[in-house]
Structures are given as structure tokens and as C-alpha cells.
Amino acid sequence: MLFAGIDIGSTAAKAVLMSEDKREIVARNLMPSGWNSRETAERLLSWLMSLGYSRDDIRIIATGYGRVSVPYADSTLTEITCHGKGAAFLGGDDLTVIDIGGQDTKVIIIKNSRVIDFVMNDKCSAGTGKFLEVMANRMGLTLPEFFALAEHGKDIKISSMCTVFAESEIVSLMGLGTPREDIACGAVGSVVSKVATLVSKKASSGKYYLTGGFCESPLLIRKLSETLGSEVFTTPDARFAGAIGAALLGK
Amino acid sequence: MLSLPKNFETFNEARQKSFMALYQAKERGKKIIGTFCSYTPVEIIHAAGAIPVGLCGKSEQGIAEAEAILPKTICPLIKASYGMAITDQCPYFYFSDGILAETTCDGKKKMYELMGKIKPVHVMNLPQSKDQALAIDAWTEEVKRAAKFLEDLLHVSITPEKLHDAIVYRNRLRRAIVDLYEVAKIKPSPVSGYELSTVAESADFHFTDDDLIAKIEKTTRDFKARTRNDGANRPRVLITGCPNAGVRDKIIKRLEELGADYVCADTCSGPRVQKFMIDENADPYRAIAERYLKINCSVMTPNEARFDDIKDLVKEYQVDGVIEIVLHGCHTFAVEAYTTMNIIQNELSMPYMRLDTDFSQSDGGQIETRLGAFIEMMIAA
Ligand code: SF4
Ligand code: SF4
């Protein structure tokens, strides 16, 4: 029996297949969640099946906010439990996991590889991937382009916390001729400071570990480490943390 | 799964149904006094021959209208209570001959000043601490002054006999309600906490029912006789913090649908407040004052006894996790939540989660994810 985890987030859908002993990631796949989570889920199933196993050989656990759209899943779990488990697999048994997602950001405290506490951002999208997506859009860039640009920028302060106000602030900064790389760098800084506030709500234990789509952004990791005053660890696989955790929790 | 009996009456249905009963009572010449808080000594209302009715806002209704006058940032309970009053949306308020209120939190006591422009409102001065010098003496005088207000308003006289009868009646009622709550001490609980708390808290609306106590006692027996076969693996949750009637469906019902049992409320309508009885053999005013001053609410400072209560309840009800509900704008509970968190997580090593919310439905999805994750956390613990 193999174990698959499907994590349908608000922006990206992730799937991993893990070996029978759950020690190894056999295959991974990432695609945009798109408009229709149901279709995305079906595409991930076809991908799984294309790996040469039959459906009966695999136990499938779904997570993420689109987990209800995975009709073929054997069971479902919330993204908090799964992210915690997945992060512990990647980063160790005692962690403060920081997950910056497309729609929400969460801080999960892990002790002995178990979730013992968590906090999520409130309704507002400041401090989430959405904030950067909106800013990138406004500047006519894709997210990777936006991050590439931000790497060369100087830190300027975007004072509005609210995404809507920050967007108009950026428009006026552009109007004033502020270099685009500085604006991008400032926007990343804004997300980092919001995330750090969320982290400070929970007494930190163990090391900081970043999961989610931004684990490949050196700038964000650097800034977050600086703000928290302690190194933030991550690995490219950390964006699969939810899916990995789901697979690990399959029975 | 949460399963409710076919004839289950929701809180709102119970509330609606009793409109008619109240109307008829009013037609027969009965007087009605509105209340908003667990500190209101309802015995003096009974003794004045009137019916006490809880008017606390418990839904979004009236909030938009209230926000035209009150600050948006004030707690939803205050906004809803005031909004229902100014828009004539609450027949209970409409039928009330007067309001008996007290100086609890700042938002509420200032709101009463505005409410006083619509109805006769008497605000009792509640001490800020039971340990305060002369607290009990002052509060006893306040109870007497409130009785005087009722006598003048309703043109009645509150005799020692009537007061004694009211004390005996409310003690019996409270005992019955505590017994009802204690059904959930059975593990697994034979009845859903959503159903149980709805019945317990709706008791307030059956004010004209002479057999109310007998009916509650019967419900307790019926509940105890029920059996459930799915309860074994469901974590048992205690809910603490702000009054939760306004988020009953969004949080409590959902919590049970997702797989946990709500077994105990550490709120002012729950067993920890109901269990305080009034000494039937002492001076009635003093005895009433003593009973109400025992209530441990976050409006008091210090309020350490609240945490002893929580610890007792966690043990007595064999709780697996604690959820604290903090309504947006409620400073007193928001500040105390830090202490609750430390006690539950560090002293009791138990899962604790704080939910900040209001009466709107807009955060339903987020709350659901948090509840789900919390249940998974309790199961793994
Ligand atoms: S929480 Fe405190 S102030 Fe509010 S109704 Fe209950 S006893 Fe009164
Ligand atoms: S919930 Fe808090 S702010 Fe609201 S009425 Fe009660 S004590 Fe006051």
C-alpha cells in the first residue's frame, strides 16, 4: 500500500505519492488550483494513475481548503494538521511552522511531531500570498518576475496594511517614479512584518520552518529571518508540506 | 454525527413561540421587566409580580441600525441589544415596562444611558470586585434601590413574603437547570450539547409556564435515559469566554457536526453561575446580594476565581479541550483570554483555542477550518 496526499490550496494544488514505509517521496506534482477544484482534483488523480499503480494500491488523503472537492479521497484532514505533520517530516520534531498560503497564513507549533497549538490570520489578506499577488498584478508582473525584481530593490516602507489601500499606495509610488524593484521589495517587507506579528502571538519553540509557495524566495526567507531574529529554515519540498503530511497521516 | 430529535425546538423558535404567551400575559395585566445580564437579581422582579425577560441581542438583527449611533467597534452583543430596541424588532423589548440593568462593562453601561431615552431603565451600580471595601454592603443597598425602582414603576409593594417565595422558586429553577447541565457529565454524553444548552437557555422564555420546573426535570430524566453509540471517540469540549448565544449555530452546532461534543459552558449562563443558590433563611436582600456577587465575570477585577471554576469544570466534565470565544470589541474577556490560555495550555497541558468572532456569518469558513483542526489536535493529544 502506498500513500498519496492531495492538498488543494486557494492558489496551488499539490500532490505527493509516498512509499509504503512513508519514508520517501516517490513522486510530486504541482499545478494551479484553477477555477474548478473538482477538475484540478481529477487531473491530479489521472497523474497519480499514470505512475503505474492501480487505485487500490494507494490510500489517498485530501487536505487544503479544496479538500471537499476530492470525491475519490479515502479521508480528509484539515490543512493545519497536515502542514504540521509534513513540516515535522521535513524539518524535525519541534518546530514553529510558518505557512504563508495564497489565502491565509498560519503559524503552527509542533512538539514531538504533533500539533499542539496554531493561529491563523484573520479575515484580511494582508500577510498572505494574495497580498503579493495583487501587488505583482498591479505592476504587470507574474509572481516569479516580481520576486526576481524585488531581490534587487531597496527596502521602502509600504505603510498601508490593508491590501486595497496598499494597492493604491503602490500606484501613487509608481506615479512618483519610485523604482519598481524598491516597491516590490517593500511589498515583500510588508508581508514579512505582518507574518512576524502573527508569529509573535504564539510563544515560539524550536526552530522556525517555512512552508508554502514562498519557500523558494531567498528574499522573503532572509527578511523573515531578520525580522524574527532567528534563522528560518526551509527546503524546496516545503511547498508540498500539506500533501506530505496528508500522505503520512493515511492509515 | 449531530442528530437532533424531530420535534427539536431551536432557540429562536422557542423565543418566537413565547411571544404569544407573553402577549397574552400582558393582556391579562402582567408587567414585564427586561434584563441583559446574569448579575440582574431576578428575584425582585418576580417579587414585584412581574416577569423577567432576557433581552440580550443574539443575532445580527439590529446591528446595522445600531451602528448608526453606537461605535462599530463595540461588541456585537451590545449593538444587537440596542439595535433590536431602537428598531422595535424585539417584541420582548417592546412589551417591557422597564429595564433592570447594571454597570458591567463600559460599552453596556454607556449604551444603557441611550436606551434610557426609550424606556425606563434603572442601572444598578455593580461593584467592580467582590473584595472591594463595602462591596457587599453597597450591592445590598443597590438591590434595595432596584426593588424601590420596581415598586414605583409598577405601583406594587415587594413584601418579605413575596421576596422569600421568589427566592425559593428561583433556587428550585436553578437547581433543575444545573441538574440538566450535569447530564453531560456522563461520558460519553447521552445528548448533544447543542440540544442540551438550547433547552437549558430557552428556559428563560417559558416564564409564564407554571410547570416549567417539572418540565425541565422531566427533560433531564429523558436525556439521561437516552443512549448514543457514536460518542466514544468524540473529544469533549468546554466553551468559555463571552456569552455565546449569538454564535450558537456558527460555532457550537458546527463543532458538534464536525465530530466533537460540547459538554460544558463556562459562561454566565452555564452551570458555574447557575450553581450559586440564595440562602433562604437569611435577610433576603443581603442573601440576594451575596449570591449575585459570587458570579465570576471578566467585568470584575481581579477575577481569579473564574480560573478555579474552569479548572473544576474541566475535571468534573472530563474535558479534552477548551475553546474560548471572544466577541470583537469585548476587552475584558479578550484580556483575560491570555490567562485562560496559559492555564489551559501550561498548567493543564490541554489543547486550547481562542476564536475571535462576531455575529456575522462571513467568517464561517475560517471558523470551520479552525474547529476541524482543533478536533484533530484533541484526538491526537
Ligand atoms: S458575561 Fe458578565 S457582563 Fe456579560 S452578561 Fe454575563 S455576567 Fe453579565
Ligand atoms: S461580551 Fe464583553 S463587551 Fe460584550 S456585553 Fe459582555 S462583557 Fe460587555
Asked if B98 contacts B34 with a C-beta cutoff of 8 angstroms, the reply is: yes
**DSSP result, A15-71:** EEEE-TTS-SEEEEEEEE--S-HHHHHHHHHHHHHHTT--GGGEEEEEESTTGGG-T
Counted domains in chain B: 2
Residue of B105, B268, B269 to mutate, ligand 2, most atoms within 8 A of C-beta = B105
- Alpha carbon nearest to ligand 2 atom 1, residue: B242
Under 8 Å CB pairs connecting chains A and B tally to 46
CB distance B78 to ligand 2 below 6 Å: yes
CATH of the domain at B311: 3.40.50.11900
Confidence of residue A213 (pLDDT cuts 50, 70, 90): confident
Q: Which of A77, A106, A117, A119 to mutate to test the interface with B (most CBs of B within 10 A)?
A: A117
The residue type at A219: L
Which set of grid coordinates corresponds to residue B278? 440564595
Q: Which domain holds residue B28?
A: 8-157
Could you tell me if A74 lies within 8 Å of chain B, comparing CB atoms? no
Q: Does B21 share its domain with B141?
A: yes
> CB distance A122–B351 less than 8 Å?
no
Could you tell me if A185 lies within 8 Å of chain B, comparing CB atoms? no
Q: Which residue has the cell 494582508?
A: A126
**What 8-state DSSP symbol labels residue B249?**
I
Asked if A122 contacts A197 with a C-beta cutoff of 8 angstroms, the reply is: no
Confidence of residue A172 (pLDDT cuts 50, 70, 90): confident
pLDDT along chain B (381 residues), means of 10: 69 75 87 95 96 88 94 96 90 93 97 96 96 93 98 97 96 95 94 92 75 92 88 90 93 96 92 94 97 96 95 97 97 97 95 96 91 95 82
Contact residues for A178 (Cβ-Cβ < 8 A; gap 6+)? A156
> CB distance A81–B380 less than 8 Å?
yes
Which residue, of B130, B157, B184, is where some domain finishes? B157
Could you tell me if B377 lies within 8 Å of chain A, comparing CB atoms? yes
Q: Does B255 share its domain with B340?
A: yes
Set of chain B residues whose Cβ sits within 8 Å of the Cβ of A116:
345, 351, 377, 381
Which residue, of B157, B180, B202, is where some domain finishes? B157
Asked if A213 contacts A10 with a C-beta cutoff of 8 angstroms, the reply is: no
Q: Which domain holds residue A38?
A: 2-82+241-248
Q: Does B82 share its domain with B198?
A: no
Q: Does B61 share its domain with B145?
A: yes
pLDDT on residue A88: 96
- Mean pLDDT, chain A, rounded, equals 91
Q: Does B209 share its domain with B313?
A: yes
Which residues sit with their C-beta closer than 6 Å to ligand 1?
B 37-39, 104-105, 243, 268, 295, 297, 299
Q: Does B149 share its domain with B171?
A: no
- Residue B290: inside a domain: yes
- Residue B335: inside a domain: yes
Q: Tell me which residue of B351, B356, B240 sits closest to B306, measured CA to CA.
A: B240
pLDDT on residue A17: 97
pLDDT on residue A203: 65
Q: Tell me which residue of A41, A8, A44, A2 sits closest to A24, measured CA to CA.
A: A2
Residue B95, SS3? helix
Q: Does B195 share its domain with B140?
A: no
Of the candidates A114, A118, A123, the beta carbon closest to that of B373 is on A118
Q: Does B76 share its domain with B38?
A: yes
- Residue A24: inside a domain: yes
Atom of ligand 2 lying closest to residue B76 CA: 4
CATH of the domain at A58: 3.30.420.40
Atom of ligand 1 lying closest to residue B298 CA: 2
Report the pLDDT averaged over residues A195-221: 86
- Residue A9: inside a domain: yes
Q: Is the pLDDT of residue A109 over 60?
A: yes
Which residue, of B157, B179, B211, is where some domain finishes? B157
pLDDT on residue A205: 63
Could you tell me if B369 lies within 8 Å of chain A, comparing CB atoms? yes
Query: Strands B31-35, B98-102: parallel, antiparallel or unpaired by DSSP?
Result: parallel
**What 8-state DSSP symbol labels residue B246?**
G
Residue A38: exposure state from Cβ atoms within 10 A (0-12, 13-18, ≥19): middle
Rounded to two decimals, the pTM is 0.91
Distances (CA, A) of B218 to A21, B176, B211, B212, B326: 55, 10, 10, 10, 34
pLDDT on residue B4: 73
Set of chain B residues whose Cβ sits within 8 Å of the Cβ of A120:
366, 369-370
- Residue B1: inside a domain: no
Q: Does B342 share its domain with B203?
A: yes
pLDDT on residue A251: 87
Asked if B186 contacts B226 with a C-beta cutoff of 8 angstroms, the reply is: no
Q: CA-based angle B246:B249:B251, to the nearest 5?
A: 85
Which set of grid coordinates corresponds to residue A216? 523558494
Could you tell me if B186 lies within 8 Å of chain A, comparing CB atoms? no
Q: Does B142 share its domain with B291?
A: no
- Alpha carbon nearest to ligand 1 atom 2, residue: B297
- Residue A35: inside a domain: yes
Distance of CA A182 to the CA centre of its chain: 24
More confident position, B65 or A161: B65
Ligand 1 midpoint to CA B295 (Å)? 9
Set of chain A residues whose Cβ sits within 8 Å of the Cβ of B320:
none
Most confident of A90-104, A111-125, B309-323: B309-323
- Residue A49: inside a domain: yes
Contact residues for B142 (Cβ-Cβ < 8 A; gap 6+)? B124, B125, B126, B289
Could you tell me if A93 lies within 8 Å of chain B, comparing CB atoms? no
> CB distance B369–A65 less than 8 Å?
yes
Q: Which residue has the cell 508581508?
A: A191
pLDDT on residue B208: 67
Set of chain B residues whose Cβ sits within 8 Å of the Cβ of A81:
373, 376-377, 380
Could you tell me if B380 lies within 8 Å of chain A, comparing CB atoms? yes
Could you tell me if B307 lies within 8 Å of chain A, comparing CB atoms? no
- Residue B203: inside a domain: yes
Q: What are the counts of helices (DSSP H) followed by strands (DSSP E) for chain A?
A: 8, 10
The question of ipTM being above 0.90 is answered as no
Q: Does B129 share its domain with B230?
A: no
- Residue A44: inside a domain: yes
Report the pLDDT averaged over residues A209-237: 92
Q: Tell me which residue of B31, B64, B61 sits closest to B49, measured CA to CA.
A: B31
| Cross-strand partners of A210 | A98
pLDDT on residue A166: 81
Set of chain A residues whose Cβ sits within 8 Å of the Cβ of B334:
none
Distance CA B9, CA A146 (A): 56
Percent of chain A with pLDDT over 70: 98
Q: Does B111 share its domain with B74?
A: yes
B 342-361: CB under 8 A from A? 345, 351-353, 356
H or E stretch covering A145: helix A143-151
Set of chain B residues whose Cβ sits within 8 Å of the Cβ of A65:
365, 369
Distance CA A5, CA B373 (A): 17
Counted domains in chain A: 1
Contact residues for A53 (Cβ-Cβ < 8 A; gap 6+)? A2
Q: Tell me which residue of B258, B150, B331, B179 sits closest to B142, measured CA to CA.
A: B150
